[in-house]
């Protein structure tokens, strides 16, 4: 492998790590704020949210980026974001226990959570906030099974306390830490890639060049 190609790999790996950590650390700040809020007796504190929806949006932003990079590394053209996420889910089932049964579940997960959060403010089923001590190192499937039996309030499009039998939920603190594992998976694939065109495509994605080209094509129509 040429020196230039190795430098490109290292630059991409560093950038993907940096962007993931930006969101992960922001979400950790929300978690810290919730701890401070719980110990604050001032009345206006009750009007301050926990940042759960914003945390979930940040998580999906990172997942979206990592999924697109993963698809490029697999030699695929990016058709739509949901397909990229399903591909990432399928590639990481041995690494991450998502709590999803299959690819169809992954599609519904993207629609009901990411798309509803992005376009109509709240997810279909709910975003859960749990204390870090409660979560420990649990996997998603274990957590979700517990959540189905839980009686705490979780807000979604179906209303409060809507999490039951077949529902899923985003546990923001748990999901946030798993982003680092998914990021490591993608970085490892970048490190093993010796295809210059693929690496350039990832570089263009990170630099927004693909979006700029699409906008130029739309303006020409």
**Among 67-81, 127-141, 175-189, 206-220, which is the least confidently predicted range?**
127-141
Which has more confidence, 216 or 191? 191
**Per-residue pLDDT reduced to its tens digit, 166-202:** 344 456 666 777 899 999 999 999 999 999 999 999 9
Can you give the C-alpha Rg of the chain in angstroms?
19
d(CA 82, CA 86): 6
More confident residue, 155 or 40: 40
106: number of Cβ within 10 Å: 20
DSSP 79-126: --HHHHHHHHHHHTTTT---S--SHHHHHHHIIIIIIHHHHHSS-SS-
Crossing angle of helices 172-192 and 3-38, rounded to 10°:
170
Q: How far apart are CA 138 and CA 144, in angstroms?
A: 10
| Nearest Cα to Cα of residue 186 among 39, 80, 87, 43 | 87
CB-CB contact of 139 with 146 (8 Å)? no
Number of structural domains the chain divides into: 1
Share of the chain above pLDDT 90, in %: 34
Q: Cβ distance 150 to 163 under 8 Å?
A: yes
Q: Are 55 and 108 in contact (CB under 8 A)?
A: no
Domain interval for residue 196: 3-42+49-220
Residue 105 confidence (pLDDT) above 60: yes
pLDDT at 27 over 90: no
Whether pTM > 0.85 for this model: the answer is no
CA pair distance 82, 43, nearest whole angstrom: 42
- DSSP string covering 117-159: HHHHSS-SS-EE---HHHHTT--HHHHHHHHHT--S--EETTE
Q: What phi, psi does 128 have (nearest 5°)?
A: -105, 145
Looking at every residue in the chain, the average pLDDT score rounds to 75
User: How far apart, in whole angstroms, are the C-alpha atoms of residue 183 and residue 45?
Assistant: 35
């Amino acid at each position: 492998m040429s020196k230039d190609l190795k430098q490109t790999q290292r630059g991409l790996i560093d950038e993907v790590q940096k962007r993931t950590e930006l969101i992960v650390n922001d979400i950790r700040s929300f978690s810290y704020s919730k701890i401070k809020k719980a110990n604050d007796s001032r009345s206006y504190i009750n009007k301050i949210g926990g940042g759960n929806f914003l945390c979930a949006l940040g998580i999906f932003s990172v997942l979206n980026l990592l999924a697109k990079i993963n698809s490029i590394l697999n030699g695929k053209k990016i058709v739509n974001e949901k397909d990229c996420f399903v591909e990432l889910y399928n590639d990481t089932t041995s690494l991450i226990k998502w709590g999803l049964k299959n690819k169809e579940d992954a599609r519904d997960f993207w629609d009901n959570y990411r798309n509803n959060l992005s376009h109509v403010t709240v997810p279909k089923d709910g975003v859960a906030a749990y204390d870090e001590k409660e979560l420990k190192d649990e996997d998603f499937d274990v957590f979700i099974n517990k959540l189905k039996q839980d009686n705490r309030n979780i807000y979604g499009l179906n209303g409060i306390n809507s999490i039951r039998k077949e529902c899923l939920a985003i546990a923001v603190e748990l999901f946030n830490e798993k982003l680092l594992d998914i990021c490591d998976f993608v970085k490892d694939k970048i490190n093993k890639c010796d295809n210059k065109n693929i690496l350039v495509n990832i570089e263009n994605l990170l630099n927004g060049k693909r979006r700029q080209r699409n906008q130029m094509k739309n303006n020409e129509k």
